[in-house]
Amino acid sequence: MDAGRRWAASAAALLMLMTLGVAACGADNGGTAKGVKVDKGVTKEPCPGSTHKDRGCIYLGVLSDLTQGPFAPLAVEILRGHQDFWARVNAAGGIDGKFDVNIKEYTRDNKYNPEEHVAKLRQIEPHILALGQSLGTATTLAGLGIMKQDDLVASPASWWSGWAFEDADTVLESGYSYCLEAMDGLDYMAQRFGKPKSVLAVGYPGDYGGDSAAGVAAWARRNGATVTRIQTAPNAQAGNQDAVVNAIRKQRPPVVMLATGAAEAAEIVGKAVASGFAGQFIGSVPTFNPALLKSKAGPALLARYRYVSPWAPFGANTAAHAAMRKAVGDKLPTNEGYTFGWIWSYPIKSVLVGAARDGDLTRRGVRSTVAKVTVNY
């Protein structure tokens, strides 16, 4: 897929079922449906509950953090955004007028755990054409070998910079990376508060926190600042963020860059400010949930914290955002995860439409289509 599908909007600092469903492998051994070549994850029969009896069904899988992981509040809304996006596609004629898309049948909870992710991927892989969502960098990387071997493309709920340099025909990322996000965020902080002489990078270990920290380091080299990195973990593993807060109190950097979950970010900001820390916080996009503003940390977040997003928020004035608002009706999203889920769906849609028009909705046909299409978001 060429570079035209990447979101080009400027960064904006903002305050702000375990049961297997019906098998969808009606053409696993090869064949055709609606005059299109198909194999796994596509049937000539309508999707369950569809009123479009003249269309076949494309099944997309979802592997997401839906219950107990650090990103569950965000992930539930991401999934809702996906579901509403595909409902709108189906209502408008589906994929090339021949297929509806079902993203509910093979939705599974990966609990933001790589082993759980791989187990659930193996469970649903025989029944799907592609992954409409694969949440998490470490989790998606854990399943990448299976995906490449089985020609399974995916839309990742991840902004790891590595997706731009490898596996471009498998992982269809949108938006900029955590690395670039950190640079953009620090540019904003320098413009708003003056260029900091030091930055503290706080994040999870691995590719999320590491990617963000790499961006902080690159910005610091360019701007003559020093960097200290502290690794932390979700509270389910670490218990609390007291070690991070103590480090902030000791070092007192002008700016702290956060690459954690939202609960951990709120705890760090709230406790640090309460202890007298006078610096500023800038957070990667997964660090924020509007519900936190009603917590004890709310005043500290409003006063000292901003987060960076690769695209405009739910209320923005674009055709895509207007479509989102129409889709949700009276039930507004609880956070920007809904916006992410909607936007992350465009690459998969473009590839499916392209493959259907080429007459080849096999796994290999879909994967080979990636390089041919440009996404209009």
- DSSP one-letter string for 266-322: HHHHHHHHHTT---EEEE-GGG--GGGGGSTTHHHHHHHEEEEESS--TT-SSHHHH
Measure the CA angle with vertex 39, ends 81 and 108; round to 5°: 35
Among 147, 55, 177, 127, which Cα is nearest to 370's?
147
**Residue 28 has what pLDDT?**
47
Cα–Cα distance measured from residue 106 to residue 177, given in angstroms and rounded to the nearest whole number: 28
Q: Are 361 and 58 in contact (CB under 8 A)?
A: yes
**Residue 207 has what pLDDT?**
87
**Residue 17 has what pLDDT?**
25
Q: What is the CA radius of gyration of the chain?
A: 21
CATH class of 178-309: alpha beta
Average pLDDT, the chain: 91
- What pTM, to 2 d.p., does this model score? 0.87
Q: What average pLDDT score do residues 39-66 get?
A: 97
- For residue 73, what are its two tokens? 């509040």
pLDDT tens string 67-83:
999 999 999 999 999 99
Q: Residue 29: pLDDT band by 50, 70, 90 thresholds?
A: low
Q: What average pLDDT score do residues 167-185 get?
A: 93
- Using the predicted structure, report yes or no on whether residue 111 has a pLDDT greater than 90: yes
Ranges of beta strands (E only) in the chain are: 12-14, 31-33, 36-38, 42-43, 56-64, 99-109, 130-135, 154-157, 198-203, 226-231, 255-259, 280-283, 305-309, 360-361
Q: Give residue limits of the domains in the chain.
A: 3-9+17-175+315-372, 178-309
- Using the predicted structure, report yes or no on whether residue 11 has a pLDDT greater than 50: no
**Residue 168 has what pLDDT?**
83
- For residue 6, what are its two tokens? 């990447």
Residue 230 one-letter amino acid: I
Give the bridge partners for 201, in sequence order: 229, 257
In angstroms, how far is the first alpha carbon of the chain from the final one? 14
- Using the predicted structure, report yes or no on whether residue 1 has a pLDDT greater than 70: no
Do 3-9+17-175+315-372 and 178-309 come out as alike in CATH topology? yes
Task: Quote the percentage of the chain above a pLDDT of 70.
Answer: 92
Q: Are 259 and 178 in contact (CB under 8 A)?
A: yes
Cα–Cα distance measured from residue 129 to residue 15, given in angstroms and rounded to the nearest whole number: 38
- Using the predicted structure, report yes or no on whether residue 10 has a pLDDT greater than 70: no
- For residue 326, what are its two tokens? 């129409």
Q: 258 phi and psi, to 5 degrees?
A: -105, 135
Which residues contact residue 339 at a Cβ distance below 8 angstroms, ignoring those fewer than 6 apart?
81, 311, 313, 314, 321, 324, 333
Q: What average pLDDT score do residues 156-168 get?
A: 89
Cα–Cα distance measured from residue 43 to residue 82, given in angstroms and rounded to the nearest whole number: 21
- Using the predicted structure, report yes or no on whether residue 3 has a pLDDT greater than 50: no
- Using the predicted structure, report yes or no on whether residue 20 has a pLDDT greater than 50: no
Length of the chain: 377
What single-letter DSSP state applies at residue 16? -
Give the bridge partners for 228, in sequence order: 200
**Residue 27 has what pLDDT?**
46
- Using the predicted structure, report yes or no on whether residue 141 has a pLDDT greater than 70: yes
Q: Residue 206: pLDDT band by 50, 70, 90 thresholds?
A: confident
Q: 132 phi and psi, to 5 degrees?
A: -70, -20
**CATH topology classification for 3-9+17-175+315-372:** Rossmann fold (3.40.50)
Q: What average pLDDT score do residues 133-161 get?
A: 96
